[in-house]
Structure 1
C-alpha cells in the first residue's frame, strides 16, 4: 500500500506512535516551561494536536479519504482555539498561583 498523505507519513501510519509522541511532547513542554503557569495547558494542547493528527492518519489508513477527515479536524481545532482565546480574553482561564 502506497500512502502519500502527509498526515499519515508524519506519524508513520500508526495511531500508537501518535499517542506516544503526544504524551512525550506534553511531558517535554511541561518540563521545559515549568516556570510558566500556562505550561500544563500548552502541553495538553500540543498533545491534543498530535493526537488529532494521529487520528486523521489512522482514518486515512483504513480508507476514509483525507478530503473528509482533514476539514472536520480543522473545524474542531478552530473551534477549540477560538474558545480558548475567548476564555483567556475574558479572564475565565487564569495562571496557576505561584507556589502551588
Structure 2
C-alpha cells in the first residue's frame, strides 16, 4: 500500500501511537503552563487535536478518502473552537481559582 498522506506518515499509521503522543503532549502542556489556570484546558485541547489527526490517519489507512475525513474533522474543530470562544467571551468558563500558591523555587 502506498500512502502519501502527511498525517499518516507523521503518526506512523498507528492509532495507538497517536493516543500515546496525545497523552504525552497533554502532560507536557500542563506541566509547562502549571501556573496558568487554563493549563488543563489547553492540555486537553492539544491532546484532542493530536487524537483527531490520529483518527484521520487511521481512517486513511483503512481506505476512507481524506476528501471525506479532513472536511469532517475541520468542521468538528471549527464548531468546538467557536463554542469555546463563545463560552469564554460570555463568561461561562472562568479560570479556576488557585487554592495554594506554588513555592518560589518551582
TM range (shorter): over 0.9
Q: CA RMSD in A?
A: 0.8
Structure 1 residue runs of 4+, over 3 Å off?
Answer: none
Distance 2:34 2:59 in 1: 35
Q: TM-score, normalised by structure 2?
A: 0.92
Structure 1: segments with no counterpart, 5+ residues: none
Counting only pairs closer than 5 Å after superposition, residues 9-88 of structure 1 correspond to structure 2 as: 9-88=9-88
Q: How many residues align?
A: 100
Larger Rg: 2
Structure 2: segments with no counterpart, 5+ residues: 101-106
Q: Does 1:8 align with 2:11?
A: no
What secondary structure, in the 3-state scheme, does the structure 2 residue paired with 1:8 have? helix
Q: TM-score, normalised by structure 1?
A: 0.98
